[in-house]
Amino acid sequence: MKNITILALLLLLVGCSQQGTADQKETVSEKEKVGTVNEDRVKEVVKETATKGEKESETEKPLPDLSQYETVKLEKKEESFEIEIEYPSFGYEPIDKLLAGEMQPQFENSQEAAKEIIEDPAYEEEGLGTKIKYSYNVSFNAPVVTDDFVSIYFDVYIYMGGVHGMEQSYAFNYDLKNNRLMNLEDVLSERGTTLQNVSKLVAEELINSDLFAEYRPDPVTFTYKEDVKKETEPTTTNYYAFSLTEDAIILYKQFYSLFPNSAGVVGVAVSWDKIDAATEEKKNDIVYQNDDHHFALRLPASWEGKYVVKEGDWNVAAEMSYDFQFMHNGKEICNIFSISVINTESADDTGPMNLIANHNGKSYVWNSIMEMPPELLEGGELQELEEEFARMVNEEVPEIMETFTFE
């Protein structure tokens, strides 16, 4: 209960909305609320800027040199706590006003939160109060400034005793061309890609990049890959903080199941070249359309010539099953996965299958092959295909299920 109280009090630090989520209806986590940008202030600043522009000449005034900035430092030090917040000031009103409009209230709120935490008698038992100095620190990395945007990464460190403090993060990404903040959906949409594509690339970096080799087993285990998959699901909760460079997008997260707590917030950089290549590859996906039940799937282009779809009657609970069979050199080898249509929407009647959707009184479920076929195992006549087949079943089939849609 005490830890919950601490987190609740931390919410007093700022009362701002999340910086541009891809889905505003999704509940924002407590961590996401720290230091984010108030969108009402964005509208006010943009409106003021537009009004001023009408009064000025039609010739657009050049931007100041945004690579030159001053560091503003807000500081409050007392016997029992210290607050320190730093942020850049560019001499460019639209950006400076937004930053100041967030940092000043955060500075005031953090002092109130510190006093409430320290003065609470419940925390004497944990060594807080006057015994340990509470600290709240906000610092920033050197801003990335291009002709198109300004991107600033902020690191928040809160210490309330113990071996390690709590690290949080947020970022400020400003579109200079359109005079507005950019959210992740904006950035990816303009690049012609999706969060699903980018999240897969983040997972690949965690599995393959030398930067994270010290944190993963060698060779990489199935369990580690599964943990990566869970940590990198394409949700706004997982990708609430990002910053930009000319060559890459950096996505920040605390990977609890992958890295020790001491690692804090970790940034995973994915180059635009990789994103563009993956996006182009997605355009070559194979579209499977089922005319009987009017659903569609997208299969990787690499599956071309490696599968065939057959109708099956092996599932006695289903009115029909569609079996995607593995093919090699024109020969049918084994099942990859199946989609079954069950004439009920009751979850109790789907059996040990994975539910895809309920639609028009029917349940659509799927399952994949449970064991590796003998001919693909070591010593089998097709053992060289074992790794490829395992990837198809374990990695690509779940992704295919995410593309399931009704026509």
Contact 347, 340 (CB under 8 A): no
For residue 351, the model assigns a pLDDT of 59
Confidence of residue 122 (pLDDT cuts 50, 70, 90): low
For residue 131, the model assigns a pLDDT of 57
| Percent of residues, the chain, with pLDDT higher than 70 | 80
For residue 58, the model assigns a pLDDT of 38
The more confident residue out of 236 and 22 is 236
For residue 184, the model assigns a pLDDT of 95
Whether pLDDT at 328 is above 70:
yes
Whether pLDDT at 23 is above 50:
no
Helix, strand, or coil here: 86? Answer: strand
Whether pLDDT at 28 is above 60:
no
Whether pLDDT at 34 is above 70:
no
For residue 120, the model assigns a pLDDT of 74
Read off the tokens for 250.
Answer: 């950096």
Confidence of residue 362 (pLDDT cuts 50, 70, 90): very high
Q: What is the mean pLDDT of residues 189-218?
A: 94
Opening angle at CA 174, ends 169 and 177, nearest 5: 165
Q: What is the mean pLDDT of residues 288-307?
A: 96
Q: Which of 249, 131, 128 is nearest to 189 (CA)?
A: 249
| Mean pLDDT for the chain overall | 84
Instruction: Tell me which of 23-27, 229-233, 379-383 is least confident.
Output: 23-27
- Structure confidence by residue, pLDDT tens digits, 212-259: 999 999 999 989 988 998 999 998 889 989 999 999 999 999 999 999
Whether pLDDT at 24 is above 90:
no
Q: What is the mean pLDDT of residues 44-73?
A: 66
Residue 327 is given by DSSP the state E
Instruction: Tell me which of 17-26, 109-118, 120-129, 357-366 is least confident.
Output: 17-26
- Structure confidence by residue, pLDDT tens digits, 252-288: 999 999 999 889 999 999 999 999 999 998 889 999 9
Read off the tokens for 159.
Answer: 């210490």
Read off the tokens for 200.
Answer: 């897969």
Contact 111, 9 (CB under 8 A): no
Confidence of residue 370 (pLDDT cuts 50, 70, 90): very high
**Domains, the chain, ranges and CATH?**
1-182 (3.30.565.40), 183-283 (no CATH), 284-406 (3.40.1000)
